[in-house]
Amino acid sequence: MIEVQGLVKRYGSAKAVDNVSFTVKPGQVTGFLGPNGAGKSTTMRLILGLAQPDAGQALVNGRLLRDSAAPIAEVGALIDGRAFDRGRSARAHLRAVAATIGIANARVDEVLEFVGLTSVANKNAGGFSLGMGQRLGIATALLADPQIIMLDEPINGLDLDGIAWIRKLLRKLADEGRTVFISSHLMSEMEIIADHLIVVGRGKVLADTTLEEFTASSGARVVMVETPEAPRLARQISAPGVEVESLDSTTLKITGLSGRQVGEAAAKAQVTLHQLTDQRPSLEEAYARLTSDAVQFRARVA
Amino acid sequence: MNNSSAKYSLTLKNIIYSEWIKFTSTPSAWFTLLGVVAAMTAFGTVAAFGGSIPGSTFLSSESDPVYRVLIGSRGSILMLGILGVMIGSREYSSGLIQTTFAATPARLPILAGQILAAVTAIVPVATLASFLAFTVGMAAMQSSGNPTVALSDAGALRAALGCAAYLTGAGVFGIGLGNLLRSPISGTGLIFGGFVAAPGLATSLIPSSWTWALAYLPSEAGASLTALTPTSNLLSVETGALVFLAWVVLAVIAGGASMLRRDV
């Protein structure tokens, strides 16, 4: 469990993190979502004690990380998938981190195998691609088999196989009852991985909700129906709060009902359906709407 | 609760071992140590022959035979100072320091680990290099008809060991500086400027009434350790040792304070 309480971090006059509070619970994947510069990495660095907050605190399993007897067994973190020393092999990197709390070399080989880096274990980690670096960073985070896994932009640089792999991994970790906290600036990534979302913009929490609630609150859902008996179906489902628009003679666009409700109504009235599509509002749009005021670096087109 | 955090613990011994793994898995560290042995022996030998090699007068007017054969220490402190700077600063520039600090939030034990790991590797090499330079240098002195000193003579053993301490101290000084500056480039620049450029250039830049102050620079103060009887432009052995030690301690304290206080 990670508890962030009233965190403030200033850089000069700008507040990178502005009174941020949230709790990351075990047993689910919590996505930390926001545009670049929203304060995600700074918040994660404050949790790890890499930066000192101007106010507030971040507790890990109820205490500051620096009070932990074995910090990397408490939180396994990936902050930067490129942060490895030039000249040092992946294996030596992991052994050095492992040694701090007395983790055996056998465990190092185990995590190398687990992230699929065994064949390049003796290669210079400084020369790794971003995707390989992310895998090594994840291996570093998993070394001590921690209860909390915190990854900053873990999907960055991964190929499709890598994304599928990390998605499965995070799901497994959460199902084991661990606390999984990952950041991203892409809604599309969170949509496939996260159960819970903490959306930030300009250092402030904009939303702290489940993925479903976020979807539901992000706009009315639309159901598209294709049927040779469009007028009959339209009459059948007509009710207060339901809006039916006839796009052509066989296509209806229905707002205010779920796909299931429309389907059941059609079955009851014995209306033949050729197609029924439940169009969830685009999460990407919802996210864009939520953060539009909070985007710090927007490209201007002259 | 999982039992993994109970099974493991962060101890000073573990942290030192972690830094030792980092030191030994950095190829450039070994090259530097090899370079120190080579430089100590080569410079010492050339200086010993100086005057008898046609065209070379390198240190031929130096009257202290021990200072003369240990002259490779001047180049070696540069190499070891830079090695120290690399140990202290490279993780800040690669970003690895975030992983390191997250693993050891108290931070200061990391500085202790860096120093102990480096000292463990440097001391035997520096000692070997000093005695090798002394032995080979004295043989060269003898064959070129220069006065020689035996290791058993008064002050000779002290100078050879002092030279090893000078080299080791330069490495520790670099580690402190590296953690203070957090940049391999500025750290290397400062080592080069402080150890080479300042003592050399300053003699022609500052008024002659002020040149006594140059003996207090770290490279000059430490150089007293390598002499049988330091010349008038160096401090006495005792004062030199104290001033050099003060520089090393100052660099380590400054590096430690920077480590503790600044975000990464």
Mutate to test the interface with B, among A100, A107, A138 (most CBs of B within 10 A): A100
Tell me which chain B residues have a C-beta less than 8 angstroms from the C-beta of A89: 25
Contact B134, B58 (CB under 8 A): no
**Would you call A50 and B22 a contact, using CB atoms and an 8 Å cutoff?**
no
Smallest Cβ–Cβ distance between B21 and the set A70, A92, A140 belongs to A92
Looking at CA atoms only, how far is residue A75 from chain B in angstroms? 9
pLDDT tens by residue, A223-271: 889 999 999 999 888 888 888 888 888 999 888 888 888 899 999 989 9
CA B102 to chain centre: 30
Looking at CA atoms only, how far is residue B198 from chain A in angstroms? 31
Number of Cβ pairs < 8 A linking chain A and chain B: 129
Q: How many CB atoms sit inside 10 A of residue B205's CB? A: 9
DSSP B196: I
Tell me which chain B residues have a C-beta less than 8 angstroms from the C-beta of A102: 8-9, 11, 14
Average pLDDT for residues B123-144, to the nearest whole number? Answer: 96
Q: Which helix (DSSP H) or strand (DSSP E) does residue B86 occupy?
A: helix B73-94
User: How large is the C-alpha radius of gyration of chain A?
Assistant: 24
Strands A75-78 vs A148-152: parallel, antiparallel or unpaired: parallel
ipTM of the complex: 0.90
Quote the CA–CA distance of A65 and A135 in Å, as a whole number: 24
Of B90, B70, B217, the closest CA to residue B133 belongs to: B70
Q: Is A79 on the interface with B (CB under 8 A)?
A: yes
Quote the CA–CA distance of A72 and A92 in Å, as a whole number: 17
Higher pLDDT, A244 or A182: A182
Quote the CA–CA distance of B157 and B142 in Å, as a whole number: 18
Average pLDDT for residues B236-240, to the nearest whole number? Answer: 95
Model confidence band, residue A302 (pLDDT cutoffs 50, 70, 90): low
Of A68, A93, A66, the closest CA to residue A81 belongs to: A93
Share of chain A above pLDDT 70, in %: 95
Average pLDDT for residues B199-212, to the nearest whole number? Answer: 80
Average pLDDT for residues A127-138, to the nearest whole number? Answer: 93
pLDDT at site A297: 64
Helix (H, G, I), strand (E, B) or coil at A119: helix
Average pLDDT for residues B99-109, to the nearest whole number? Answer: 96
**Would you call A100 and B14 a contact, using CB atoms and an 8 Å cutoff?**
yes
Average pLDDT for residues B23-32, to the nearest whole number? Answer: 94
* Range of weakest confidence among A70-74, A276-280, B78-82, B192-196: A276-280
pLDDT tens by residue, A186-224: 888 888 889 999 999 989 999 999 988 887 776 667 888
Tell me which chain A residues have a C-beta less than 8 angstroms from the C-beta of B95: 79-80, 82-83
Smallest Cβ–Cβ distance between A102 and the set B14, B90, B102 belongs to B14
**Would you call A50 and B2 a contact, using CB atoms and an 8 Å cutoff?**
no
Average pLDDT for residues B60-83, to the nearest whole number? Answer: 91
pLDDT at site B1: 44
**Would you call A75 and B102 a contact, using CB atoms and an 8 Å cutoff?**
yes
